[in-house]
Chain A
Amino acid sequence: MISRRALELATAVLTGGFGVAVVIQSLDNGIGWSSAGVEAGTFPFLTGTIIVLGSLYNLVRGALPVASLANVPIAITPIELRRLAGLFVPAAIFVAAIPLAGMYVASALYVFAVLAIPRHQSVPRALGMAAATALALYVVFERMFQVSLPHGALAAALGF
């Protein structure tokens, strides 16, 4: 179970961290005024500062027990968390597999795994849908629009 407060804090830390990174990076480009006008780092520096300040405000507001947050103390229940993971984890594995297996094989495996392993569909139907997905991708992108999707290291090793 994740409370609304924890989620608010985590998000504020995330945005604040990004803001700090932007501020530090922008210093490399120089901030302020030079003979060529406003230096390249100035605008990012300002936005970074605004992000940091805003995140600090959100952090404090998230930490304080304010009435508006008390309305929904629980942001994500355990069941919801399981459903979220059920969608996101396979998707992340799918994306991680693309460089190796290529878009077609990876997406077919992904569709098959998501449908067959939790038994949402029977194995033959899942196989059919997986094959249809890969084929549709191939026809639409490689053939119709001439966009080459990554074939993957495995296909390259096999000589495709």
Chain B
Amino acid sequence: MDNLGELLHGFSIAVTVPHLVLMVVGVLLGILVGVLPGLGAPNGVSLLLPLTFGMQPVSAIILLSSMYWGALFGGSVTSILFNIPGEPSSVATTFDGYPMARDGRPTTALATAFGSAAFGALIGVILITFLASWVAQVALAFGPAEYFAVYFLAFASFVGMGGAAPVKTIVALAIGFAIAAIGIDTVSGSVRLTMGVDELVKGVNFVVAVMGLFGIGELLVAVEEEFHARAVSSKIDWREVFRAVGRLPRHGVALLRSAAIGCWMGITPGGPTAASFMSYGIARRFSRRGRYFGTGEVEGIISPETADHAAGTSALLPMLSLGIPGSATAAVMMGGLMIWGLNPGPMLFVDQKDFVWGLIASMYVGNIVAVALVLLTVPVFAALMRIPFVVIAPLIVIICVVGAYSVSNSYLDVVMMLGFGIVGYLFKKLFYPLAPLVLAIVIGDKAEDAFRQSMLMSKGSLGIFFANKLVTCLIVAGIALLLLPLVLQLAKLRRKPASPSTETTAQEKVII
């Protein structure tokens, strides 16, 4: 029960007035970026990053993670009230959330969504509380070969389970690795891949990439469709809130199943978006009222919301204990950790107990703060949606430009950000996944270092990746995940020789 003691200590750090204020600020900013189409959790968090450099790491991570919770909640508000998903991960919430709100039950829809979201987050945090330090303990014994194997497994699981076309995922990953390699090589000190541009010696900062890929890219996708913010009433009936939350335990099976799916997808980097779609799909298949899904079913809201938040929360587990982020936003936060001078990974649990347990305790408190704030502010943020998109769009462009510039006061970064915007738009349009790209930019160097160090240890023999049981298992599991899409394809071909692969657009939307 060491963990509980540490957790109590964490609460004494998280529940202080300055940190509670940071949580409120973070959650409100998070809801704001969650509500605005074109601004999402990854670039919201990277925008705040430069402002945290002067803070204590634990305060900074509380601010950033609260913003993440806020963004997850904010995305659901617009999904339910406007049928416009503010975040990719809340697309599945529109399927049943909006019909229910349109039928005159907006409070029920919102309260059901927030209640199940809080449940999902709670399960995720409990998982982190009890599992993270154990995983870190195991990982303390890792050498470079084991580390490379874990990285390999993480990247392979994107290919095998991410849901996007496997080759597109591989291309996105490899581009991320190449971008990570730009600049000075940490091992040999030589300059790599600058393409003759001297300024690139400093490398490409992931914040610049995130601003372009998620900010400008998403804006371009959003501007294509004309927005009609036909809102249903955004008035909150407080008695109905408690009644709706009171009805949640009746759907216990759906809640637990969705939380399990979410946690699994969060820890193995599938991400919240894939988790919410998968959970919705499974619920539709197994629910007794599956036929009515899409018309405002309660379980159609519970399933994606619970999984979304469970995945978002548990994505921090591998980030903390292994140094491998489970989602794009977690990748940005991990970049922050490195900037603050912390080394994400198992040593955090030894050297930085205050940081780790302060963060974990703040996740309990932060989610409660988020539920309360989001309910209180629904009318305010709903009003924000009535501002025409033509007014909001240039402001978001300016925010992204200033955000990219302020990373290292470089004009080249702004130009590159715009370039990443075009790439982000093309990738989104053609269903190339963006999360693995960002992930590879953030941890590409570490993966490469681990590979080169293990090669040094073994004097160039790949045998080191099969030297003991643990590393062999990890590598074999990784290879299996890489080959999984191929096997499925072959199996499909054998069963139905002539049937073409049926990728529907609805399915393709899973991959963002």
Contacts and interface: CB of A to CB of B under 8 A. Distances in A.
Interface of A: 4, 7-8, 10-11, 14-15, 18-19, 21-22, 25-26, 29, 33, 36-41, 43-44, 47-48, 50-51, 54-55, 57-58, 61, 66-68, 71-72, 75-76, 80, 83-84, 86-88, 90-92, 94-95, 98-99, 103, 107, 110-111, 114-115, 118, 120-121, 129, 133, 137, 141, 145, 147-150
Interface in B489-512: 500-505
Given A29-B188, A114-B390, 18 more contacts: A7-B429, A8-B430, A33-B455, A33-B460, A37-B452, A37-B455, A37-B456, A43-B177, A44-B193, A58-B171, A68-B502, A83-B224, A84-B220, A87-B223, A88-B422, A111-B398, A114-B393, A147-B50
Given A15-B175, A57-B167, A71-B503, A110 B192 contact: no
A82 B496 CA distance: 43
B388 interface: yes
B295 interface: no
Contacts of B395: 111, 133
Contacts of B168: 54, 58
Interface string B214-236: 00100110011110000000000
Nearest to A8: B430
A29 B397 contact: no
22 contacts: A11-B427, A11-B432, A18-B178, A29-B185, A38-B451, A39-B188, A40-B190, A44-B177, A47-B181, A50-B171, A54-B174, A57-B167, A66-B500, A84-B220, A87-B393, A88-B220, A88-B422, A91-B216, A115-B390, A141-B406, A147-B50, A150-B411
B418 A95 contact: yes
A145 B51 CA distance: 7
A88 B212 CA distance: 12
A14 B171 contact: no
B178 A103 contact: no
Contacts of B501: 66-68
A61 B431 CA distance: 14
B405 A41 contact: no
Nearest to B418: A95
Contacts of B401: 94-95, 98, 103, 107
Nearest to B405: A149
B409 A148 contact: yes
Interface of B: 50-51, 167-168, 170-171, 174-175, 177-178, 181, 185, 187-188, 190, 192-195, 216, 219-220, 223-226, 388, 390-391, 393-395, 397-398, 401-402, 405-406, 409, 411, 414-415, 418, 421-423, 425-427, 429-430, 432, 448, 451-452, 455-456, 460, 500-505
A34 to B, nearest CB: 9
Contact of A87 (B192, B219, B426, B451): B219
A4 B216 CA distance: 21
A84 B391 contact: no
A50 B236 CA distance: 53
Contacts of A99: 411
A18 B432 CA distance: 16
For the residues of B in contact with A, the DSSP-based class is helix
A43 B452 contact: yes
B402 to A, nearest CB: 7
A37 B451 CA distance: 11
Contacts of A8: 430
Contact of B223 (A25, A71, A83, A133): A83
B502 A47 contact: no
With most chain B CB atoms within 10 A of its CB, the pick from A8, A37, A91 is A91
A51 B178 contact: yes
Given A22-B193, A29-B192, A76 B181 contact: no
Given A75-B429, A95-B415, A111-B395, A43 B456 contact: no
A120 B190 CA distance: 52
Contacts of B175: 15, 18-19, 47, 51
Contacts of B429: 7, 75-76
B174 A43 contact: no
A10 B423 CA distance: 11
A26 B224 contact: no
B394 A110 contact: yes
Contacts of B390: 114-115, 118, 120
A40 B426 contact: no
Given A50-B170, A54-B167, A115 B195 contact: no
B430 A25 contact: no
B386 to A, nearest CB: 14
Contacts of B177: 43-44, 47
A134 B173 CA distance: 38
B174 A120 contact: no
Contacts of A11: 426-427, 430, 432
Nearest to A42: B452
B43 to A, nearest CB: 15
A139 B194 CA distance: 36
A42 to B, nearest CB: 8
